[in-house]
Amino acid sequence: MTAFRCIIVLTILTSTICQWASAVEYTNFWNGAELKANQEKVVYLKKSLNECFTMCALRPWCQVVGFNQKAMVCELYFEDIAVCEDAGEHCQLQSITFVKRVDITGDERNQCDNMMCPSTGVLQACDLSEHTCITDVCRPFYGKENGKVL
């Protein structure tokens, strides 16, 4: 029983160390509050900070990525969004960390940019293993009238 526990602990420690070693880096960030519901974005649930920022790095249409650590929610925005202007405590206490795609550094973003996947129109992502552009999401239909609630 003791050997089994040691293997589990070692596996957890090894995976944690590997996650730290492959962390996505960025040169600038800001904290802010949740944005209006009509802000065009694609939302992914149960993602880590590293997964979230990598998702933006591999999608040329992603202009800004927002990550809510408490809720583990990743938001990829189609347009640039406002930076929290107050450099004081107000901005630091907000729940979402925002990073512009151009501020994400590392091989994933650079390789994706070199693949020339379109950043407008069809929403494509870079598949670095196959060196192709793949379509993985559809653009949201915000502001479209699809009917009337009676």
Place of tokens 């990525």: 65
Residue 100 DSSP one-character state: E
Domain carrying residue 103: 25-135
Q: Assess if residue 8 is contained within a domain.
A: no
Q: Assess if residue 144 is contained within a domain.
A: no
Rounded Cα distance between 64 and 104, Å, is 10
Handedness of CA 110, 116, 130, 16 (dihedral sign): positive
Q: Name residue 79's amino acid.
A: E
pLDDT in tens, 12-34: 333 333 333 356 788 888 777 66
Q: Assess if residue 45 is contained within a domain.
A: yes
Q: Assess if residue 13 is contained within a domain.
A: no
Q: Which of 41, 59, 50 is nearest to 113 (CA)?
A: 59
This prediction's pTM: 0.70
Q: Assess if residue 5 is contained within a domain.
A: no
86 pLDDT tier (thresholds 50, 70, 90): low
Q: Assess if residue 7 is contained within a domain.
A: no
Domain of 118: which CATH number?
A: 3.50.4
Rounded Cα distance between 83 and 79, Å, is 12
Rounded Cα distance between 75 and 64, Å, is 8
Q: How many domains does the chain have?
A: 1
Q: Assess if residue 53 is contained within a domain.
A: yes
141 SS3 class: coil
Q: Between residues 5 and 55, which one has the greater pLDDT? A: 55
CB count within 10 Å of CB 59 equals 24
Alpha helix positions (H), 22-147: 49-57, 89-92, 107-115
Q: Assess if residue 111 is contained within a domain.
A: yes
| pLDDT score at 2 | 42
In total, the chain counts a number of residues equal to 150
